[in-house]
Amino acid sequence: NAGVTQTPKFQVLKTGQSMTLQCAQDMNHEYMSWYRQDPGMGLRLIHYSVGAGITDQGEVPNGYNVSRSTTEDFPLRLLSAAPSQTSVYFCASSSSWFAEAFFGQGTRLTVV
Amino acid sequence: GENVEQHPSTLSVQEGDSAVIKCTYSDSASNYFPWYKQELGKRPQLIIDIRSNVGEKKDQRIAVTLNKTAKHFSLHITETQPEDSAVYFCAAGYSGNTPLVFGKGTRLSVIA
């Protein structure tokens, strides 16, 4: 029972590089979201999706892209990494927006 | 949009004492209020939730209360133990099309 799986767990990027954070869930959840966690800032919403082919922006979307081609996968792309994107990133999935959200194990990203 | 304020940001209690964390929300349409616990280096996990048709909910040593008129809800942990030490997040959601909005978190330290 994998739940929500994120890869990689750690990543170091140079400024200007691009990369994709992977997120996959095996619970057949339609609702998925990406958050970033910074000290003292809580969990801030980057992008979210309510089903395959449907995505929308959250509170802090600049510098990130998402796509949802399947129910299972919801990758987050950093287009041109900046030091301000140094953070811990969490993917979450749920059966609805008012049901338990299951989080992945997180990706600790450092941009130098 | 919804805004969730959480207090205090840090809380230290002696083992065996009670801990209370409070949250307020802004959108009167919100009707789902979960609490998540995040241990150091781990993912957030749901510990208890409450919906707007209920005023209080208990699960062993933890309880949540909701005051819809005042738009605030609280987490109560009794007989605290060292393993309760973690960051706790409150959140609010409603039956719209957007994900949960989280508070900034409370770091609880239980001193043995």
What integer pLDDT is reported at residue B97 of this predicted model? 74
Q: What are the residues whose beta carbons fall under 8 Å from the beta carbon of A34, sequence distance 6 or more? A: A21, A23, A45, A46, A47, A48, A58, A64, A66, A74, A76, A89, A90, A91, A92
Q: What is the pLDDT of residue B52?
A: 82
Query: Of all residues in chain B, what percent carry a pLDDT higher than 70?
Result: 98
Backbone torsions φ then ψ of B20, nearest 5 degrees: -130, 130
CB within 8 Å of A46: residues ≥ 6 apart: A33, A34, A35, A36, A58, A59, A60, A61, A64, A66, A76, A89
State the pLDDT at residue A71: 97
Q: Check CB contact under 8 Å for B93 and A42.
A: no
pLDDT tens for chain A, 112 residues: list them.
679 999 999 999 999 999 999 999 999 999 999 999 998 889 999 999 999 999 999 999 999 999 999 999 999 999 999 999 999 999 999 999 888 999 999 999 999 9
Cβ contact, residue pair B32, A45, below 8 Å: no
**Min distance A73 CA to chain B CA atoms (Å):** 17
The Cβ of residue A96 has, within 10 Å, a number of other Cβ atoms equal to: 14
Residue B104 forms contact with A (CB below 8 Å) = yes
B61-81: average pLDDT: 96
Q: Is B66 exposed, middle or buried (0-12, 13-18, 19+ CB in 10 A)?
A: buried
Measured between CB atoms, does B52 come within 8 Å of chain A?
Answer: no
Which DSSP state fits A97? T
B94 contacts A42? CB cut-off 8 A: no
Under a CB-based contact definition with an 8 Å cutoff, are residues B67 and A65 in contact?
A: no
What's the rounded mean pLDDT across residues B39-45?
96
What are residue A57's DSSP bridge partners? A47
pLDDT bucket at B95, cuts 50 / 70 / 90: low
**CB distance from B94 to chain A under 8 Å?**
yes
Which chain B residues contact residue A40 at CB under 8 A? 9, 104
Classified as helix, coil or strand, A69 is coil
pLDDT at position B94: 75
